[in-house]
Amino acid sequence: MMENAHSATLVRLKDTDLVVGDDQVDVRGMDVVDRSGAEVGDVDGLLVDEAERKVRFLQVGSGGFLGLGEKKQLIPVEAIVEVGDGRVKIDQDREQVAGAPVYDPDLVPAPQPDYYEGVYGYYGYAPFWTPGYTYQGYPRQI
């Protein structure tokens, strides 16, 4: 199953001393839109691999009113196809994201590797710890 997953620790960027690199775009606060341009939510945070210092997931909030009832999901960075004009475009449909496993950082600040594997599988991507995985690079603004 996950040979190297246990050695990777994912943390919320805001809980570390790490910062987004100069050559990368800080997408926190940007709108997220699906492949057809429909609004999905907004980027509330980033989950990073502490050892490799790479962003692995967007934490996206959607729904609710004034923060109440908002759902949070993780979206792998592999889903990002474009960053620009204050938005992040992903290669998934809005409905797909709405049905994704819910992520509650207040209840489960450090999910287990099986949770991450489930998120990757849900979106149809291989987890970053699998053999042959190549990091596509965190997107630069277009």
pLDDT score of 4 more than 60: no
Q: What's the pLDDT at 30?
A: 95
Report the sign of the C-alpha dihedral through residues 37, 118, 24, 42, in that order: positive
The tens digit of pLDDT for each residue in 68-117 reads: 567 899 999 999 999 988 999 999 999 999 999 988 877 765 667 788 99
Assign domain 5-123 one CATH number from 3.40.50.720, 3.40.50.740, 1.20.1440.130, 3.90.50.10: 3.90.50.10
Helix (H), strand (E) counts: the chain: 2, 7
Buried b (16+ CB within 10 A) or exposed e, 34-59: beeeeebbbbbbbbbbeeeeebbbbb
Tell which residue, 68, 61, 50, 62, has the closest CA to residue 12: 50
| CA 49/CA 63 separation, integer angstroms | 27
Q: Where are the domains of the chain?
A: 5-123
pTM value is: 0.85
